[in-house]
Structure 1
Amino acid sequence: MHEESNKTIESSQGQWWLAKNGQPQGPFSHHEISDALKSNKISSADYAYSSFSKEWKPFSDWSEFESEMRNSGSEVPPCPPVESYPIEPLITNPRLPPMANWVCIYTLQISPWLWCFYTLSQMTYGTVLDEKDPLMGIEALAIFVSMLASLGVTISLFIGGARLRALSRSGPNIIILSIVAATAVNLLLFLWAIVIVAMADQSHFASKTVAAELIDYFVGIVGICEWAFMLTTLFWLRRNARFLPLS
């Protein structure tokens, strides 16, 4: 009697087929489908065909399996709290995506060292014009303004990176404004340098050693790489900042 009642219940629930690579696979019993859903062998997005309804639908549209899908645990949980990590990173945040953490690394660690590197290389390289040219003072003033401006941008980037790491919504805004300001200032200084070089006497250009030329070449390569990353950061933050877990 018990086996006959089980067969009656199973037959009332019908038979099921699964869609695999465009082909029907089955038949399966209701119990087999329930076990597969609970163990996440199949998902709610998979299509199934019932011998009763005679149509293909994803499991999410079948009311017969609502309880199985609720208990399957297939839903991805949110990121665990920072307190669950044994050691909290110093300059990154586990809740941030990889690109955001690279921005934190750049703003909090790389950018200050690059400013020191640029400053020391500029002091080693010196001015393009020699002391005989009357425009040498203007060039020296441009170099001094450039150092101050880059220092201000570096400090601003550091503050923005610290707030981004702390999941503060003001962090990306500060970083974006810093990059825009740095771009504008450097363009103005570049035009200023072009005007100075164009107005200077060609015979008053200072001679450079091979070491100084190599340093200048290396600084140029590092600067191009940095600006490429900064512009990538600018566009990435403008597009993805609203999706970050910030408060």
Structure 2
Amino acid sequence: MQEESNKTIESTQRLWWLAKNGEAEGPLSHQEICDALKSNRIRSTDYAYSAGERVWKPLSDWNEFESGTEDSALKVPPVPPVQSYRIEPLFTNERLPSMANGICLYTLLISPCLWCLYVVSQIISGTILGENAPLVGVEALAMFFEMLASMAVTVSLFIGGMRLRALRRSGPTIIILSIVVATAALLLLIFCLIVLMAMSDQNTFASKTVAVELIDYFVFIIALCEGAFMITAILWLRRNERFLPLS
């Protein structure tokens, strides 16, 4: 009886399970695992489970394959370890090139932060015209509408970035249109401010402290850098959009 049991153990196939995104894939034979390693379908760092030892550890840590009885080999293994779960980046996608991931970072993280910075700086800086200037109300209204337009563009960029990260073909289109609208709105605001300054008397301009002027200068430098990146992003997307793995 003991000899028959030993023969059963020796004749049992060497079955294994591989951890794939938190799930056990198997059972697999020793040869199937070797073939997968040779064809680079799996890596030596992938976690494997042997019914003989009943433990999860990387394939590189297994010196030899052990087998047990057929019943223990076919028993469903325990839940794979936490290290086997695939952790995806929050703002990027590993299938995208570095420039596309940079655009995702800008649209999903940097652009909302910059919008908050611009709003706070506008509140601190105030209007160009003084409180008693006849056209100060027009300037304040123009700045208010520009703030709403920039908020809409920021939301649109965020949606485009989400779709680009999800490898959706509409993502680059939304981002390009959002940048074009943002540029047009900024140029329109600059034109309105120039007209208001031309129509106003020099004495009606508001005086600003040194701290406010430094804040305005700092925000202006950031806006120039952002504008350069936005232009680069448009050119890059227009040229390389068809090569991205989008669906």
Quick check: TM above 0.5? yes
Report what 2:239 is aligned to.
239
The equivalent of 2:164 in structure 1 is 164
Q: CA deviation at 1:201?
A: 1.1
For 2:107 and 2:116, locate their aligned partners in 1 and report how far apart those are by CA, in whole Å.
14
Tell me if 1:196 matches 2:196: yes
Tell me the equivalent position of 1:97: 97
Paired residues for 1:1-247 under 5 Å:
86-247=86-247
> Residue 132 of structure 1: SS of its match in structure 2?
coil
SS in structure 1 at match of 2:130: coil
CA displacement 1:41-66 (0-9 Å, x = unmatched) = xxxxxxxxxxxxxxxxxxxxxxxxxx
Runs of 4+ aligned residues of structure 1 deviating over 4 Å after TM superposition are none
Amino acid of the structure 2 residue aligned with 1:142: A
- CA distance in 1 between partners of 2:167 and 2:85 (Å): 16
Give 1:140's aligned amino acid.
Answer: A
CA RMSD of aligned residues (A): 1.7
Normalised by the length of structure 1, the TM-score is 0.66
Instruction: Tell me the TM-score normalized by structure 2.
Output: 0.66
Q: Which has the larger radius of gyration?
A: 1
Q: Distance in 2 between matches of 1:131 and 1:120?
A: 19
Q: Distance in 2 between matches of 1:238 and 1:183?
A: 17
Q: Distance in 1 between matches of 2:131 and 2:189?
A: 21
Rounded to whole Å, the distance in 2 between the matches of 1:242 and 1:201 is 53
Q: Secondary structure at the match of 2:110?
A: helix
Residue by residue, what CA displacement relative to the aligned partner does 1:19-71 show, whole Å, maximum 9, x if unpaired?
xxxxxxxxxxxxxxxxxxxxxxxxxxxxxxxxxxxxxxxxxxxxxxxxxxxxx
The structural deviation recorded for 1:90 is 0.4
Secondary structure (helix, strand or coil) at the match of 1:186 reads: helix
Residue 241 of structure 2 aligns to which amino acid in structure 1? Answer: A
**CA–CA distance in 2 between the matches of 1:96 and 1:207?**
49
Tell me which residue corresponds to 1:40: none
Gaps of 5+ in 1: 1-75, 78-83
Question: How much has 1:85 moved relative to structure 2?
Answer: 7.7
Distance 1:204 1:184 in 2: 28
Aligned partner of residue 94 in structure 2, secondary structure: coil
The aligned amino acid for 1:174 is I
Distance in 2 of aligned mates of 1:186 and 1:217: 17
Amino acid in the other structure paired with 2:168? S
* Deviations 1:177-201 (CA, angstroms, capped at 9, x unpaired): 0011111111111111100011011
Q: Deviations over 1:70-95 (max 9, x none)?
A: xxxxxx99xxxxxx983100000000
Q: Which runs of 5+ in 2 are unaligned?
A: 1-39, 42-83
**What is the number of residues matched between the two proteins?**
167
Amino acid at match of 2:245: P
| Secondary structure, aligned partner of 1:127 | coil
Amino acid at match of 1:121: S
